[in-house]
Structure 1
Amino acid sequence: MDIKYVNAFITALIEISGMLGINSLTRTGLDKREKLKTENEVNVIIGLVGDIRGNVVLSLQENTAVNIASKMMGGMPVTEFDLMPKSALCELSNMVSGRSASELERMGVIASITPPTLIHGHNMISLISQVETLVVRFSTAEGMLELNIAMED
């Protein structure tokens, strides 16, 4: 996995989050997993096709998702993780992936993105892909989140 491709997604997440008022996003860790597997309650999956193929997954706990959705909606209180906050998180993932695809295109890499798919559930494990995955962890005032990047060779 080429680090310049990974950096396109990290930079996009930081930029888009800042535009939406999530200004405290700080990278806290970096790990590799043998496959794309998450254990958080909320996972938004974006597929990549073109010169690079794979998946990018924004993964977070439900309380973090609610806090981020509230921030995205101008501070409007969000009391439950229903359709509105789910839509907000999908839009955040879509914006990050779109920004990343634009950056990749500037590098000469064509990457199209699929519409976001949100998986939500308690006490579950999502096994999404059998591809080696880079997990970038972030901390925000709203909670912890992970950006999982799995690209096929």
Structure 2
Amino acid sequence: MKAEHVNPFIKASKEVITQMTNIEFKVGKPFLKKSPFNAKSVLILIGITGDLKGQAIIDIDKSTALKIVSGMMGGMPVAELDEIARSALSELGNMIMGNSATLLYNQGIKIDITPPSLMMGQSMSISTDHMQNICVPLEADNDRVEINIVVKE
């Protein structure tokens, strides 16, 4: 996958998460993730169509998801991933991908995104067969969010 296709996702992810949570996430080194992979306990899935086709998979463990939602709600303590918390996480994914789409458009690459789907559970195995998965880790203290960009160019 070309760097000019990955970089907008990295930039949008870091900026949106930091702006929405007031937690400074740092971008780790992107890497190829093999399929299938074991997901954490919370996944935000967003389809990508247009000049690029595939999906973005935002992979978060539950404790980090709770911190993110708390940050999005102005620091209000969040103890469980209830309907409001799940909606906030879906909206976070939507904002990341919307910003990514804008950055790509500015490079002449047109994409559309699907509404986010949120999955929660234990021991989820995700298969991205036939497509390369570039994983971009975002880290803050002991918290980690993995942005998986799985597209055909």
TM (norm. structure 1) is 0.92
Partner of 2:17: 17
Counterpart Cα distance in 2 of 1:21 and 1:85: 13
Q: Which residue of 2 aligns with 1:2?
A: 2
Q: Is the 8 A contact 2:49 2:113 kept in 1?
A: yes
Give the structure 1 partner of residue 115 of structure 2: 115
Deviates more, 1:27-36 or 1:39-48: 27-36
Taking a change above 3 Å as real, the CA distance of residues 141 and 92 of structure 1, as seen in their structure-2 partners, is: farther
How do residues 28-67 of structure 1 correspond to structure 2 at under 5 angstroms? 28-35=28-35, 37-67=37-67
Q: SS in structure 1 opposite 2:7?
A: helix
How far apart are 1:69 and its partner, in Å?
Answer: 0.4
Name the CA shift for 1:140/1:48 in 2 (closer, same or farther; >3 Å): same
Alpha-carbon deviations, 1:106-141, whole Å to 9, x = none? 111110000001110012223355411001111124
Q: What is the TM-score with the length of structure 2 in the denominator?
A: 0.92
Q: Which residue of 2 aligns with 1:77?
A: 77
Aligned-partner residue type, residue 41 of structure 2: E
1-structure distance, mates of 2:46, 2:36: 13
Structure 2 stretches lacking a partner, 5+ long: none
Looking at structure 2, the residues matched to 92 and 25 of structure 1 have their Cα atoms a distance apart, in angstroms, of 14
Residue 139 of structure 1 corresponds to which residue in structure 2? 139
Q: 1:24 to 1:36 in 2, by over 3 A?
A: farther
**CA–CA distance in structure 1, aligned partners of residues 92 and 111 of structure 2:** 18
Task: Return the offset for 1:78.
Answer: 0.6
State the shift of 1:38 in Å.
Answer: 4.2
Cα distance change on mapping 1:38 and 1:91 into 2, 3 Å: farther
Give the number of aligned pairs.
153
Unaligned runs of 5+ in 1: none
Instruction: Report the equivalent of 1:106.
Output: 106
Q: Output one character per residue of 1:74-112: Cα deviation in whole Å (capped at 9) or x when no partner.
A: 111111111111111111110010001011111111100
